Chain A
Amino acid sequence: MSDLVFLLPELVLAGTALVLILIARHVSRAQAVAVSVVVAAMAAIFSGWAFTPEAPEAPAAMTVVFGGTIAADGYARFFKVLFAATLALAALLSVKHVDTERVPPAEYYALLLLASTGMMLAASAADLLILYLGLELMILCAYVLVGITVNRPIANEAAIKYFLLGSFASALLLYGIALVYGVTGATDFAAIASAVSERNLTRHPFMLAGLALMAGGLAFKIAAVPFHAWAPDVYQGASAPVAAFLAAGSKAAGLAALVRVCLAAFAPEQRIWSEMLAGLAVLSMIVGSLLAISQTNMKRLLAYSSIAHVGYALLGLVTGTPDGASATITYAFIYSFMTLGAFGVVIALGERGEDLLAYRGLAATAPVTAALMFLFLLSLTGIPPTAGFVAKFAVILSAVRGGHVVLAVVAVMCSVVSAFFYLRVAVMMYMMEPQGAAPARVPGAVAAALAVAAFVTIVGGILPDTFTAWTVPPSLGKTPTEITRALTR
């Protein structure tokens, strides 16, 4: 019974979502937003309260509850707080969109809540099946959210694309899980790791196939090249707040799952998945940066940028060390806020926010909005003293520490390319003549969300120590060195 405490955030979110659906006809948009934000705050507080803090330098043996299926560690807590924050910001950013596109508010916010529940579940899963359930709950809600504006054909098209490709990727993931279960007889992370090391299954062909299939399925969730093709179409087709929610939340959830699976379940196979992830990282950085150059739609540009950023984030995990994992989740955390901020500006500008050319002269007509966009763009480029620089520093440091200097050089070179397309927006905003009338007033809720994102982007850059205590790597049944030692013996 006391185990339930550790699922309080998920229970609160899911319960509220169900209630919202039941009384949907009586809920106004304002009420739905308020409920979502309050519930997100409650979830964050519960996560902070339920999980006892542990010393980050010594991740103890995994604290598991519910018969070893749910991990109750600092890692899960970190992501639950992050997803609660993503949910709150996405809820605030959605107000305008729900009003103008006549989306049923209760259902929309219930889906946001349920998707966040899935993300939290995925981040705290200690069992492949729970992981799969969490990710599926998230992505099923995401399919609906993308297509929820029924009268926009482009949104429907995006939802169908997302659904078809996503189902295929989920099948890959499930097939991988099945193969791993077939070889090891376990779905529990710790049991898989010990089975592999004790029975020396590291090079078992089905094990490798299972690993590759699972990596493919998870790479789809985080939109890493070559599993990225859905992202630009879906981000463009979905309304901007949904795209923001996907870019920040679902990407972080995918990374959370990937990091934990790699470190906890597949620690003995570290050399293999490191190489696979290095390939994904390099491809994502290069393809994402190069394809973003020619985009003329802001949401597509941010989609390609998100592909490039997942490449940077993976640099930490490639090293296979807990330190590297910390760097990756630091990146996920910071990226969530800066991309929510950038999408937030797109939302604040309304319809014209999607067209790159509409940013011309924005600094003259809407100086504060332009300055915020400039801040988020600098952070996405990785220019100090913004949080994006701290994130980039952390992953490159761990890459160099792991001996992957070439990866580090590729990463910084891609960041120069990315500077070109990010700062082209700045050039339009600051160096060109204004087009058309000044944009409409920004709704208070959107302004509040932008302020939070800007705050994190600045404070995270100036005082990175404020959150490094939280970015603990996932706790493990055994440390990788112990497992390697067991293997060599």
Chain B
Amino acid sequence: MVTLVTTFPILTVMTFLPLAGAAVILLLGDRMARWFALTTTLVVCAVSVPLYLGFDKSSSALQFVETVPWIRSWNVVYGMGVDGISLPFIFLSTVISVLCVGASWTAVQVRVREFYAALLVAETAMIGLFASTNLFLFYVFWEVMLVPVFLLIGVWGGPSRIYASIKFLLFTLAGSVLMLVGLIALLEATGTLDFETLAKTRLSSDLQAWLFVAFTAAFGVKVPMFPVHTWLPDAHTEAPTAGSVILAGILLKMGGYGLLRIALPILPDAVQLFAKPMLVLSAIAIVYGAYVTLAQTDVKRLIAYSSISHMGFVTLGIFTLNRSGVEGAILQMINHGIVTGALFLCVGMIYERTHTRDIAEYGGLSTLAPVYSTFLAIFCLAAAGFPGLNSFVGEFLIISGAFKTWLWLGVAAVWGVALGTTYMLWLYYRVVMGDARPQFQGLRLDLNAREVATLVPLALLALVIGFYPELVLGFLRASVGQLLTAAGSGVMAGPL
């Protein structure tokens, strides 16, 4: 069994299967396209199973490694592999892809083939990015991801989709081209782009600082960190449901993953140098994002802004540079992918029926759509950090990490949690409670079986991780330990 796992190029197959599926879908009819996309994404999930079963949790080394020489003139190899940090993201990518296909079943009615092809290309980019073991391949998938998401927003999005898609593209491209210069400078300085080799190389502090600026420009836009977050509300709001789910579920995580994979191990001195400003920006994102969220009147925009606040927790956790902070940040990225993805799915489902996203027009869904209201309750509570649900664990770890670093950070984070509870519960109150709106009386508002099947996996994940976070944390432990040794943890202590 073990030999089979190590010789079968499981990661390559998982990465390029969706791409092959996309090519086939373009030749099919619209009806077939849906079923074929669903089959492809499910097969990818099935193929991924040995990855979790065969993974050695006690090791921080890369596993399931595949290496093939690629571009000899630049000393670039095609390298795939996973460690404890990338594995949960690959899991999330495969699951979210299946759910996106399900969520778009009836919502997408124009250019169906192209839609599913774009979705599958995005899946290839997501899995490939998290499985890359060198920076070149990472960058290639990072950029490839832009194209399908640009099309998803721009072709199948809302009224001002073109504006949103161009804004998204230019913001992320402006960040990522700086990463390209950083990547090239790194290649020039060290002669390699392999993550493991780079982590063992000690670069000069000056070079590290410049590289940190270049890479953080790319990652910060993707996360998005304050003050380069302004593309996010437009992109999330205008994107079709599946696009919002991919954006919130995976794309934002690429930034955090990049910080963990590149900034912390390869640029440890620069991380120490810049940790404090990054922590302050994270705290601003948490509190500012939460206040802006409170002021929103559009459901989708509200969830989009809440992402800024939630991703602020993630960067806060990463830059505390202690175990609970970093583990919490990774867990919180997974949680945010599950919960915010689910919330976007919920919004999409009700929007398909009511065609409005204005919170003021909603009310009393509890009597008209009890199943829907139940799911929404689970996810709103999860987003609010309710104990027993997944986000509680992540936020708790991050906040304890923050208090260890700097008292005021912990205070800002707790404040953010309080505000988060406020906006989520207030949203739930306005949408679900109260008297049923007369204009919704004749509509069949409650969920059908397909939609329930789309939400159940996410609800289960929220509950299971909430009660047994070890399920994710167990994978992380060894790799995070290794990461923090590389990043020289514990140097940051005491008040500023």
Q: B180 within 8 Å of A by Cβ?
A: yes
Bound complex: CA of A432 vs CA of B162, how far in Å? Answer: 9
Q: Is B177 an interface residue (CB 8 A)?
A: yes
Interface class of chain A by DSSP:
helix
User: Are B155 and A389 interface neighbours, CB within 8 A?
Assistant: no
* Chain B hits for A144, CB < 8 A: none
The interface on chain A, measured as residues whose beta carbon lies within 8 A of the other chain's beta carbons, has a size of 30
The answer to whether A409 and B74 have CB atoms under 8 Å apart is no
The reply on B256 being an interface residue by CB < 8 A is: no
- Decide if A413 touches B177 in the complex (CB within 8 Å): yes
Selecting from B38-46, B145-153, B323-331, the interface stretch reads B145-153
A416 to B180, CA, bound (A): 12
A129 contacts partner chain B, Cβ-Cβ < 8 Å:
no
A400 located at the interface, meaning its Cβ lies under 8 Å from any Cβ of chain B in the complex = yes
CB distance from A458 to the nearest CB of B (A): 13
Interface residue B170 (Cβ < 8 Å from any Cβ of A): yes
**Chain B interface SS verdict (over half):** helix
A431 to B150, CA, bound (A): 10
Query: Which candidate, A246-254, A259-267, A378-386, is the interface stretch facing chain B?
Result: A378-386
Q: Is the CB of A430 within 8 A of B151?
A: yes
Q: Check A408 against B184 for contact (C-beta < 8 Å).
A: yes
Chain B residues with CB under 8 A of A72 = none
Interface centre among A416, A465, A468 (most CB of B within 10 A): A416
* Cβ–Cβ contact A420 & B166, under 8 A: yes
Contact A419 B173 (CB under 8 A): yes
Q: Are A430 and B154 in contact (CB under 8 A)?
A: yes
Question: Across the two chains, which residue of chain B brings its CB closest to A461?
Answer: B140
**CB-CB contacts below 8 Å: B187-220 with A:** 187-188
Asked if B184 and A397 sit within 8 Å, CB to CB, the answer is: yes
**Cβ A400 vs Cβ B184 within 8 A:** yes
For the A-B complex, the count of residue pairs with Cβ-Cβ distances under 8 Å equals 76
What residues on A are CB-neighbors of B166 within 8 Å?
420, 423-424, 427
Question: What is the distance, in angstroms, from A406's C-beta to the closest C-beta of chain B?
Answer: 10
Question: Is the Cβ of A416 less than 8 Å from the Cβ of B173?
Answer: yes
Contact of A405 among B139, B147, B185 (CB under 8 A): B185
Find chain A residues with CB under 8 A from B169 CB: 419, 423
Knowing A389-B143, A412-B181, say if A401 contacts B188 (CB, 8 Å).
yes
Q: Is B336 an interface residue (CB 8 A)?
A: no
Contact A412 B180 (CB under 8 A): yes
Residues of B within 8 A of A420 (CB): 166, 170
Whether the pair B143, A383 counts as a contact (CB closer than 8 A) is yes
Residues on B with beta carbons closer than 8 Å to the beta carbon of A163: none
Which chain A residues border B147 with CB–CB below 8 Å? 378, 383
- Tell whether, in the assembled complex, residue A409 and residue B154 are in contact, meaning their CB atoms are under 8 Å apart: no
Shortest CB-to-CB span from B218 to chain A, Å, is: 11
B177–A412 CB distance below 8 A? yes
Say how far B19's CB is from chain A's closest CB, in angstroms.
11
User: Contact: A384 with B181, CB < 8 Å?
Assistant: no
- Which residues of chain A in 407-444 are interfacial with respect to chain B, using CB atoms and an 8 Å cutoff? 408-409, 412-413, 415-416, 419-420, 423-424, 427, 430-432
Measured between C-beta atoms, what is the minimum distance from A235 to chain B in Å? Answer: 26
Return the chain B residue nearest A409 by Cβ: B181
- Bound-state CA distance A408–B184 (Å) is 10
Is A48 engaged at the interface, CB distance under 8 Å to the other chain?
Answer: no
Interface of chain B residues 114 through 161 with chain A (CB within 8 A): 114, 139-140, 143-144, 146-147, 150-151, 154-155, 161
Interface 1/0s, chain A 373-400, versus B by CB < 8 A? 0000010000111000100010011001
Contact B139 A384 (CB under 8 A): yes
User: 26 A-B contacts, Cβ less than 8 Å apart?
Assistant: A364-B111, A384-B140, A385-B140, A385-B144, A393-B74, A393-B184, A396-B180, A396-B184, A397-B184, A400-B181, A400-B184, A400-B185, A400-B188, A401-B188, A405-B185, A412-B177, A412-B181, A413-B174, A413-B177, A419-B169, A423-B150, A427-B162, A431-B161, A431-B162, A465-B72, A468-B73
B residues whose Cβ falls under 8 Å from a Cβ of A = 70-74, 111, 114, 139-140, 143-144, 146-147, 150-151, 154-155, 161-162, 165-166, 169-170, 173-174, 177-178, 180-181, 184-185, 187-188
Give the 10 A-B residue pairs with the shortest CB-CB distance, closest first.
Answer: A412-B177, A384-B140, A431-B154, A468-B73, A416-B174, A400-B184, A384-B143, A397-B184, A400-B188, A416-B173
